Amino acid sequence: MRALLSALGAFLGWLLWVLRVRRGVVMGNLRLAFPEKSDQERRAIGRAALINVGRMAPAFLFASRLTPEELERVLVYEPGKLERLVAATASGKGAVVCTAHFGNFESLAALHNLKGVPVTMIARPLKGGWFGRLWRGGRSRAGVQELIVERGGTLQAAQAAMRKGRVLGYVIDQNMSARRAIFPTFFGVPAATAPTPAYLALRGATVFFALDVPLEDGRHRVVMEGPLQMADTGDRDRDVLAFMQDLNDRLERWVRRYPEHWYWLHRRWKTRPPPGGAERRSRPRAAGPPRTSEGPAAPIDPSGSAG
């Protein structure tokens, strides 16, 4: 049944591409990110990305029906990574997992919650009537707690959830309004980004970067980098920007490796910096591979082996 639903979702994703639903947004984003690629290459990435989004929905909505044995099989970690997250959660200072619109990020939260790692997500109210209700129902069935917060209340709500031993899941590539954003670069272009993970790190929380890399056999390879280190130069604004730049650099590295798994249909670069803002509030991308406190991240083995 799940295989049939996955195939149906893939077909619907393909149909969205054929019907040109948001194709202009997808192709505009791909031209910005990959100017060196041909239109044919960019179209292939865009089509594959929509098909993958279609596959993602049934896997997430039916995640709560997995048996304990299936849960143990479906998540693939590098040795010691999950244990670091659990230890950080138990420390009392809180753990933040920064993720993105990449792979099946909704399942990443749902499956960990079902596995016994309680997850709280900062969420925006979902629009779309019945679809929004269906999606929130999927989160609820998996036990993922949603925090719908008023403007200005995010930090307090996040800290309250972490004090209860919950892991805070935070999507870093959500476009923000210019008034509330800082502007690290993403693919070399200033991208309006919420500084919340950096502020939580300043308050003692342990921050990780995590992505879901779907594998062909239906499992999920969990990329987990960290704990990440917050610089302390005495210039808080500069340190916050550098921290969020590092997170954007990490995401860009994985999107370049697996471009078909990022959600090109959302308008990541919609908000532009205020006049002069890009110079004040962003910097060029750092050269070289991103690092954690343990050195460069290990490459992914496409076979899914955890070795």
Q: In this prediction, what percent of the chain has a pLDDT beyond 90?
A: 50
Distance of CA 304 to the CA centre of its chain: 20
Residues 104-109, mean pLDDT to the nearest whole number: 87
In a domain, 292, yes or no: no
Lowest mean pLDDT among 60-64, 180-184, 208-212: 60-64
CA–CA gap between residue 144 and residue 138 (Å, rounded): 9
In-domain check, residue 35? yes
What pLDDT, on a 0 to 100 scale, did the predictor assign at position 279?
43
Distance CA 46, CA 221 (A): 22
Full-model pTM: 0.85
pLDDT at 209 > cutoff 90: yes
Q: Is residue 78 part of a domain?
A: yes
| Highest mean pLDDT, choosing among 56-70, 261-275, 289-303 | 261-275
**Is position 247 within any domain?**
yes
Give me 12's structure tokens. Answer: 């619907």
Q: Is the pLDDT of residue 5 over 90?
A: no
Residue 17: inside a domain: yes
Number of domains in the chain: 1
Assigned domain for 302 exists: no
Residue 203 CA to residue 155 CA, distance in Å, equals 10
Cβ atoms of residues 75 and 35 within 8 Å: no
Average pLDDT across the chain, whole number: 84
Highest mean pLDDT among 8-22, 60-74, 91-105, 252-266: 252-266
Q: Are 50 and 14 in contact (CB under 8 A)?
A: yes
Query: Is 297 within the bounds of a domain?
Result: no
Q: Per-residue pLDDT averaged across 31-53, rounded?
A: 97
Give percent of the chain with pLDDT exceeding 70: 84
Residue 27 lies in domain: 2-287
- The pLDDT value recorded for residue 10 is 87
Check residues 133 and 38 and name the one with the higher pLDDT.
38
β-sheet bridge partners, residue 206: 95
Query: From the CB of residue 159, how many other CB atoms can be counted at a distance below 10 Å?
Result: 17
Q: What is the pLDDT of residue 151?
A: 67
Concatenated DSSP letters for the chain? -HHHHHHHHHHHHHHHHHTTTTHHHHHHHHHHH-TTS-HHHHHHHHHHHHHHHHHHHHHHHTGGG--HHHHHHHEE--TTHHHHHHHHHHTSS-EEEEE-SBSSHHHHHHHHHHTT--EEEEEPPP-STHHHHHHHHHHHHTTPEEEE--TT-HHHHHHHHHHTTPEEEEETT----TTT-B--EETTEE--B--HHHHHHHTT-EEEEEEEEE-TTS-EEEEEE-PPPPP-SS-HHHHHHHHHHHHHHHHHHHHHH-GGGB-TTS-TT-SPPPTTHHHHH--PPPSS--EETTEEPPPP-TT----
pLDDT at 27: 98
In a domain, residue 135? The reply is yes
What b-and-e string marks burial along 164-193, b requiring 16 or more CB atoms within 10 Å of the CB? eebbbbbbbbeebeeeebbbbbbbeebbbb
Out of 45-59, 155-169, 174-188, 273-287, least confident range: 273-287
Q: Where does the pLDDT of residue 56 fall: very low under 50, low under 70, confident under 90, or very high at 90 and above?
A: confident
Ramachandran quadrant class, 50 (left: phi over 0; alpha: psi -120 to 50; beta: rest): alpha
pLDDT of residue 281: 46
Higher pLDDT, 291 or 171: 171
